[in-house]
Amino acid sequence: MSGDVVCYAHYRADDGIMFYIGIGNRKRPYSTRDRSDWWKKTEAKHGLVVEVLQEELTWDQACELERVMIAEWRNAPDWLGRLTNIMDGGEGAHGELWLEKLLAVTSSSEWKAAHAEGSRKRAMDSNWRISNAEAMKKRTADPSWQINVAKGVAKMVVARATNPEWRVNCRAAKQRTPYQQRLHLFELMKTDEAKATRRLRRWNAKYMGWAVA
């Protein structure tokens, strides 16, 4: 990729505030794939304007420029907006090293604590809850969103139904007696407590007449 790397910025379409700085090939600035949830929420709420800041860079040049720009922007006044970049720059969408560093950062206790605190503050903000509910209502009413969800569900169902192991497990489950089903759930509890709990609730509703919580 030597000499064919670009450094780019993403701006919120409604107010022009920069919210992301990145590097990659010439197609990367316009791609919405492999973006963080924070980036996706910002783009969905405010829209997106793309600007290629510099072209024909080597990978090392682009990494250094990205690091400098992110550091400078994070030191800028808060009213200029916050970047959705999780990393400090210099990684980019370039091989497995980027993914390893991202996982290392997001799995740290410090990052999780800061992320949880930010989420807690947003959840307590009534304006955020209202705007989030409106955005969700608007998105779910969009026919294209409904079509994409339906396609995703259909793809998942087809993948599962064409999996021989899933079909074998499905047939085995149908042949179990209620008592055997309950024993299986207790075994599942050792490896996947959340899934076992959901299935146990359905079992209680079906065989014990208990309401599903």
Q: Provide φ and ψ at 136, rounded to 5°.
A: -65, -40
Tell me the domain boundaries of the chain.
5-92, 156-208
Whole-number average pLDDT of the chain? 76
Largest CA distance in the chain: 68
Which of 5-19, 26-40, 50-64, 72-86 is the least confident region?
72-86
Please state the rounded mean pLDDT for residues 158-169: 74
The closest of 187, 158, 157 to 172, measured between CA atoms, is 187
pLDDT range class, residue 92, cuts 50, 70, 90: low
SS3 75: coil
What's the confidence (pLDDT) of residue 208?
Answer: 64
pLDDT tens track for 116-163: 777 777 777 777 778 778 877 887 788 887 777 777 777 776 776 677
